[in-house]
Amino acid sequence: MAAEGKTIDALSQFELTHAFGPVGAAVNFTQSNAHMLAAAVVIVAVMAMGIAPRAVVPGRLQAMSEMFYEFLENLVTGQVGHEGKRYFPFVFTLFMFVLFGNVIGLLPYAFTYTSHIAVTFALAALVFIVTTGVALALHGRKFFGYFFPEGAPLWLAPIIVPVEVVSYLSRPISLSVRLFANMVAGHVLLKVFATFVVLLGGLGVVGPVMAVLPLSVNVLLIGFELLVAFLQAYVFAILTSIYLHDAVHLH
């Protein structure tokens, strides 16, 4: 499509369409949601099938699923402390959902739901609501002391309180924009270089030879994007843990 029109169309890959035919269209089920469903099914399948043998000495799949489990358990308990175990399933679900969204999105023809600011912002807003809810439930009114550190001179309050409030409110924005921007940038780059390959391939004798260049760039980019996919999921999870730490301990 892009090559036929002799244009680079890097953004149409992010367009939402209906999935699952007329049934999906009736309930506005998008292809983005279909990929979320696929990711969720894969996550549950990997974890449930991994732990199914319940072996004392784990096999490969069990070792992998246990690795996911213990990696995030250590991350949450390391950041929040031992009482953070309660919030582990939430952080685990977030991490796996983002990671599998990023990785599945790298497959050919796949859609990357983490490249939609609406999706990442919804997840970040969920984190914001959960952490604020936890803080309010644990500390009640004392939670608002978070915005004015104890021992600071009172006359600094007009400066400190707005700064703290703004930084607290900007958390979901930075959390969502970071993931969104990373995924969009990666996929746009991949698409641009892939289009170069097609355009150059159509240029007579020398074109295919020159097309090797953007192709090799894309090969490198895919490896880089795999790193970014994992890294951004990790960042999302560890920031959530840090916010939970603040909610549980108030600094």
Rounded distance between C-alpha atoms, residue 95 and residue 204, angstroms: 47
244 touches another protein (CB under 8 A): no
Under rule CB under 8 A, how many of the chain's residues touch another protein?
A: 62
User: What is the separation, in whole angstroms, between the first and last Cα of the chain?
Assistant: 53
200 touches another protein (CB under 8 A): yes
Q: Which stretch binds another protein (CB under 8 A): 36-44, 138-146, 162-170, 171-179?
A: 36-44
Read off the DSSP letter of residue 7. S
Residue number with CB closer to another protein (18 or 249): 18
Rounded distance between C-alpha atoms, residue 98 and residue 237, angstroms: 9
Rounded distance between C-alpha atoms, residue 195 and residue 32, angstroms: 23
Selected from 10, 80, 135, 190, the binder of another protein by CB under 8 A is 10
Per DSSP, what are the bridge partners of residue 18? 30
Site for another protein, residues 47 to 106, rule: CB under 8 A: 47-48, 51, 54-56, 65-66, 69-70, 88-90, 92-93, 96-97
Q: Which of 243, 14, 225, 227 is nearest to 123 (CA)?
A: 243
195 touches another protein (CB under 8 A): yes
Q: Which stretch binds another protein (CB under 8 A): 43-51, 137-145, 163-171, 223-231?
A: 43-51
Q: What is the DSSP string of 158-215?
A: HHHHHHHHHHHHTHHHHHHHHHHHHHHHHHHHHHHHHHHHHHHHTSTTTHHHHHHHHH
Rounded distance between C-alpha atoms, residue 26 and residue 152, angstroms: 57
**Can you point out the beta strands (E) in the chain?**
none
1 touches another protein (CB under 8 A): no
**Least distance (Å) between residue 157 CB and another protein:** 37
Site for another protein, residues 125 to 164, rule: CB under 8 A: 126
Q: Which stretch binds another protein (CB under 8 A): 134-142, 145-153, 170-178, 200-208?
A: 200-208
Q: Which of 109, 105, 104, 78 is nearest to 91 (CA)?
A: 78
107 touches another protein (CB under 8 A): no
Residue number with CB closer to another protein (56 or 154): 56
**Least distance (Å) between residue 173 CB and another protein:** 14
3 state SS of 30: strand
Residues forming contacts to another protein in the complex (CB under 8 A) are 5-12, 14-18, 27-30, 32-33, 36-37, 40, 43-44, 47-48, 51, 54-56, 65-66, 69-70, 88-90, 92-93, 96-97, 113, 115-119, 122-123, 126, 180, 184, 195-196, 199-200, 203-207, 210
